[in-house]
Structures are given as C-alpha cells and as structure tokens.
Amino acid sequence: MSQFFLFNLIATLFVGSLLTSCKSKTENFDLDFSNLKIPNKSTEKILNPDISNTLRTNNKITKNQLINYQNKSEILNSVILGKDDPFSEGEIKVNNLTSDFKLTGFLTTKINKYVFVSYLGSEGSITEDSIGGINTILLPDGARVINIDPKNSKLIINFENEDYIFEL
C-alpha cells in the first residue's frame, strides 16, 4: 500500500510541474529603467558632498611658522617650576652612598666596634670615628658614621644632612 501511495505522490508532482511550465505566457513583465540615474565612475568616494567641497578648497600649502629659540639657556630660564632642564632624560640625583655602599658584616671588640663594608670596589672596615674623604675611602666625601649597633645589626650614617640606616 505504501508503494502505491508513493507512486501517486510522485506522479502528481511530475504532472503538476509539467502543466505549470507549459502554460502560455500572457503576462508581459516590463521594467522601466529610464528614470534610473547611473553614478559617475570615479576613484574618490564621497560620503557627504558638503564636507568634501570644504576639504577640496582647504588644500592650501601651510608654512612652518614655528619660532626657533636662539639657544638652550633661553628655554632653561623660561622654566619656573619643575626640572631644571626640560630636555633631560629624567636625570635622577642618586647619591653614592645608597647606590654603591654595601654592608657586609660586624665585628665587636672590647675597645672598638667595626663594620665591614664595600664601597666603589674597595672593601674594608670602618669605625664610629670614620668620616668619608678625611680618614677613610670607604664612605663618600662628607659622610660620617653616627652609630654602630652590632646587636641589632644596624649602621647609621649621616650624609648630606640625612641619616641613613643600613641593616644586615
């Protein structure tokens, strides 16, 4: 029974498509292209014609009207606040004490307290009497030892009116 139903369905579709394709064409479908405007072929794409007209008229040659300074000192004199030299690459004043000074150890005797340090490639010991540039080369010029505390492993040095604490 299902074969008979399938055969009838296929035959109906085939005959229906044959009849519709052989129908005479009495309708005449015409398109009128006379009012159609063809755009000009150009390489420029104009999104907004009002803006494009102003852009075309403003294509003038501009001149370099920058004022050159005579020398660097004029610029440096014009800076009131901030860095002294606006053309510097961020110069940071680093004192030699914090960047080159290293604390390596402590030694306590009955007479003196010693601190083993390394400064600018030189190694040695300093005491509480040490002053940089006067009696030792292991401290920057003008730096002086304030206190040596071997129990807490602390060294206090005064340099440029500031106290620096080094711990081991």
Is residue 41, in this structure, part of any structural domain at all?
A: no
* 72 found inside a domain: no
- Read off the pLDDT band of 83 (50, 70, 90): low
How confident is the model over 16-27, as pLDDT tens digits? Answer: 777 776 656 566
The runs of H, that is alpha helices, within the chain are 2-21, 49-57, 72-78, 96-100
Domain housing 128: 96-167
Going from the C-alpha of 136 to that of each of 2, 86, 166, the distances in angstroms are: 115, 38, 18
Cβ-contact 129, 145 below 8 angstroms: yes
In terms of pTM, does the model score above 0.75? no
122 is a domain residue: yes
- The CATH number given to whatever domain includes residue 160 is 2.30.30.830
The mean pLDDT value for 82-108 works out to: 68
Whether the predicted pLDDT of 80 surpasses 70: no
pLDDT category at 60 given cuts 50, 70, 90 is low
If one compares 20 and 128, the residue with the highest pLDDT of the two is 128
pLDDT at 35: 80
Q: Tell me, yes or no, whether 115 lies in a domain.
A: yes
Q: Does residue 43 belong to any structural domain of this protein?
A: no
Q: What pLDDT is stored for residue 53 in this prediction?
A: 54
**Tens of pLDDT, residues 107-121:** 888 888 999 998 888
Residue 55 has pLDDT above 60, yes or no: no
In a domain, 75, yes or no: no
Q: Could you give the number of structural domains in the chain?
A: 1
Query: Residue 6 above 80 pLDDT?
Result: yes
Q: Is residue 84 part of a domain?
A: no
The Cα–Cα gap between 102 and 114 comes to 14
Residue 153 lies in a domain: yes
